[in-house]
C-alpha cells in the first residue's frame, strides 16, 4: 500500500525573491554551497559571490546565512542565491519595523548638501532634510543664504546622531530620517508645563529674515516669570531646552525690515507665549510692550494733517512713520502710477500727509500726501 504524503508539513518549493535559510557545506574558489534542508541545495557564485566576497571570505562549514533566491534551479540543479540582495531586503524589513515601533536609529553623518544631511543606515543611503532637524540644530541663517546653510550643515559631518525613520519606501529606495520626530515626545511632555499667556525668559539663539529663535529651559520652574515685577525664579537650568520662534511681526510694534535691528544672538529676553500647536511655540516681544495704538485717537484724528517720514516703499504704497512705533500707509492709488509714487516720495524724506482713516484695533492708518515739509 502506498504511503500518503503529508502535504501540510511538506515544504513548499522555493520561489524567486524568497529569503531562504542555508547552512554552509562547502566552499570553492569563487562559490559557496548551502544546504537548504528539504528544499534542496543552494549556491552563491559568479557576480553574487564577488558582491558578497567580504562576508564570505572567512565563512566555514556550519555557518548559517540568509540569502535571496534569484533562480530556483540552474543547469546543475542548484538554487541560485544572493547574499547581498537578501541583506538589503532584510535591512529594509528591519527598518520598517523600527519605524512602526518608533525606535531610534544611530547614524553617522556622511555628508551635507543645501537640502540636508546624508547618512547610511544598515548599508542603505538615507537623507535627513533640514526641515526635520530639531529646533536646536536647525541652521538659523540670516536671509536664508543657501551657502551659509550648507556651511552650518557641514558641521554635522562625521558626527553620530540619534534619529527616527520619518518615511520609508523600499520600492523607490527612499529612506528619510528625522530628528524632530525623535524629540516630539519629549517636547510634547515639556509643553504640558506651559500655557498661552505665560512669560518665559531665554536667550536668542538665531536671527533669520522671518524672525528670531529663543531657547529656554524645558523646566517650567526655571523659566516662567512668576512674580508681578517680572523677576524670574532662580534655579539650576536643565540640560534639555525648548526653542520657540518670535516672528518678525511679533518683535516690535513698528514695522521691522531686519530682525537683527531688534535682537542679537546671545541676548537675554523675556517673551510671551502666544501660541502652542503641533509641538511648536510661538512667542512675542511686542506683547510685553505697551501698545502704542491703544491711545492713538487721543493724539490723532481723521482729516488731521501730520508730518511723517517715508520708511519703506512697496508696489502697493509707502509706509510712513508718524511717531515712534506708529506707521501709516500712503496707498499707490493716491498717485497717477507706481512710477509717479516712486518719483514723488523718497525713503528718509519727510512730507505732509492727511489722515484718511484710523483703526486702532487693526493698527491701521491710511494717509494721503498733501505736501512736503
SS3 readout for the chain: CCCCCCCCCCCCCCCCCCEEEEEEEEECCCEEEEECHHHCEEEEECHHHHHCHHHHCCCCCCCEEEEEEEECCCCCCCEEEEHHHHHHHHHHHHHHHHHHCCCEEEEECCEEECCEEEEEECCEEEEEEHHHCCCCCCCCCHHHCHHHHHHHHHHHCCCEEEEEEEEEECCCCEEEEECHHHHHHHHHHHHCCCCCCCEEEEEEEEEECCEEEEEEECCHHHHEECCCCCCECCCCCCCCEEEEEEEHHHCCCCCCCCHHHCCCCCCEEEEEEEEEECCEEEEECHHHCCCCCCCHHHHCCCCCEEEEEEEEEECCEEEEEEECCEEEEEEHHHCCCHHHHHHHCCCCCEEEEEEEEEECCCCEEEEEEEEEC
77-81, 135-139, 156-160, 257-261 — most confident range:
156-160
pLDDT score of 280 = 84
| Dist CA 40 CA 141 (whole Å) | 61
Q: Which residues make up the CATH 2.40.50.140 domain(s) of the chain?
A: 19-87, 102-183, 193-288, 296-372
Give the confidence band of 295 by pLDDT, cuts at 50, 70, 90.
Answer: confident
In whole angstroms, what is the distance from residue 220 CA to residue 190 CA?
8
Architecture of domain 296-372: Beta Barrel (2.40)
Sheet holding 174-178, edge to edge: 104-108, 160-169, 174-178, 124-129, 116-121, 111-113
Architecture of domain 102-183: Beta Barrel (2.40)
Give the separation between CA 149 and CA 115, rounded to whole angstroms. 9
When pLDDT is cut at 50, 70 and 90, the band that residue 144 belongs to is low
Average pLDDT over residues 280-300: 88
What is the C-alpha to C-alpha distance for residues 156 and 314, in angstroms, rounded to an integer? 40
Residue 238: pLDDT band with limits 50, 70, 90: very low
Average pLDDT (256-264) is 86
Say if residue 28's pLDDT is above 90: no
pLDDT of residue 218: 57
Which CATH number describes the domain made up of 19-87?
2.40.50.140
122-143: average pLDDT = 84
pLDDT for 216 equals 86
CA 86, distance to chain mean position in Å, is 33
Q: Are 202 and 268 in contact (CB under 8 A)?
A: yes
Per-residue model confidence (pLDDT) at position 2: 46
- Model confidence over 172-194: pLDDT tens digits? 888 999 998 877 777 778 888 89
Region 5-23: mean pLDDT is 72
For the stretch 30-44, pLDDT in tens is: 889 999 888 888 888
Dist. CA 251–CA 287, nearest whole Å = 9
- Grid cell, residue 234, equals 532662580
211 conformational bin, left if phi > 0, alpha if psi -120 to 50, beta if neither: left
Report, as an integer, the average pLDDT of 249-259.
86
181 contacts 166 by C-beta, under 8 angstroms:
yes
Mean pLDDT score across all residues of the chain? 83
- Structure confidence at residue 8 as a pLDDT band (50, 70, 90): low
Query: What is 193-288's CATH number, 3.40.630.10, 3.40.50.1220, 2.60.120.560, 2.40.50.140?
Result: 2.40.50.140
The pLDDT of residue 288: 92
For residues 36 and 42, is the Cβ–Cβ distance under 8 A? yes
pLDDT band at 329 (very low <50, low <70, confident <90, very high): very high
Answer whether residue 70 shows pLDDT above 70.
Answer: yes
pLDDT at 229 over 70: no
Q: What is the pTM of this model?
A: 0.56
Confidence of residue 221 (pLDDT cuts 50, 70, 90): very low
- Report residue 76's pLDDT band, with 50, 70 and 90 as the boundaries: confident
> Of 2-6, 52-56, 79-83, 297-301, where does mean pLDDT reach its minimum?
2-6
The predicted pLDDT at position 4 comes to: 47
Amino acid at each position: 500500500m502506498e504511503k500518503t504524503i503529508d502535504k501540510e508539513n511538506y515544504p513548499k518549493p522555493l520561489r524567486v525573491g524568497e529569503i531562504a535559510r542555508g547552512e554552509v557545506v562547502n566552499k570553492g574558489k569563487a562559490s559557496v554551497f548551502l544546504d537548504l534542508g528539504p528544499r534542496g541545495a543552494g549556491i552563491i557564485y559568479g557576480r553574487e559571490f564577488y558582491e558578497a566576497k567580504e562576508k564570505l571570505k572567512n565563512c566555514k562549514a556550519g555557518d548559517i546565512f540568509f540569502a535571496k533566491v534569484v533562480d530556483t534551479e540552474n543547469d546543475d540543479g542548484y538554487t541560485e542565491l544572493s547574499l547581498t540582495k537578501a541583506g538589503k531586503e532584510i535591512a529594509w524589513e528591519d527598518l520598517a519595523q523600527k519605524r512602526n515601533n518608533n525606535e531610534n536609529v544611530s547614524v553617522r553623518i556622511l555628508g551635507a548638501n543645501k537640502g540636508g544631511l546624508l547618512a547610511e543606515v544598515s548599508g542603505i543611503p538615507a537623507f535627513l532634510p533640514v526641515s526635520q532637524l530639531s529646533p536646536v540644530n536647525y541652521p538659523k541663517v540670516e536671509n536664508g543664504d543657501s551657502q551659509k546653510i550648507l556651511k552650518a550643515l557641514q558641521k554635522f559631518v562625521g558626527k553620530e546622531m540619534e534619529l527616527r525613520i520619518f518615511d520609508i519606501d523600499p520600492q523607490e529606495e527612499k529612506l528619510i530620517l528625522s530628528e524632530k520626530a525623535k524629540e516630539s515626545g519629549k517636547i510634547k511632555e515639556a509643553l504640558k508645563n506651559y500655557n498661552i499667556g505665560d512669560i518665559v525668559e531665554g536667550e536668542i539663539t538665531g536671527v533669520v529674515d522671518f524672525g528670531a529663535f529663543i531657547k529656554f529651559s524645558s523646566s517650567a520652574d526655571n523659566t516662567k516669570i512668576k512674580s508681578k515685577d517680572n523677576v524670574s525664579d532662580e534655579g539650576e537650568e536643565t540640560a534639555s531646552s525648548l526653542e520657540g520662534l518670535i516672528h518678525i511681526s511679533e518683535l516690535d510694534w513698528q514695522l521691522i525690515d531686519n530682525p537683527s535691528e531688534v535682537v542679537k544672538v546671545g541676548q537675554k529676553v523675556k517673551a510671551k507665549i502666544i501660541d502652542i500647536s503641533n509641538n511648536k511655540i510661538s512667542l512675542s516681544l511686542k506683547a510685553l510692550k505697551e501698545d502704542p495704538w491703544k491711545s492713538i485717537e487721543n493724539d490723532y484724528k481723521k482729516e488731521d494733517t501730520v508730518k511723517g517720514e517715508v520708511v519703506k516703499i512697496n508696489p502697493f504704497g509707502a509706509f510712513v512713520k508718524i511717531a515712534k512705533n506708529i506707521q501709516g500707509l500712503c496707498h499707490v492709488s493716491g498717485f497717477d502710477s507706481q512710477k509717479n509714487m516712486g518719483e514723488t516720495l523718497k525713503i528718509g524724506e519727510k512730507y505732509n500727509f492727511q489722515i484718511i482713516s484710523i483703526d486702532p484695533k487693526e493698527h491701521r492708518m491710511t494717509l494721503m500726501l498733501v505736501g512736503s515739509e
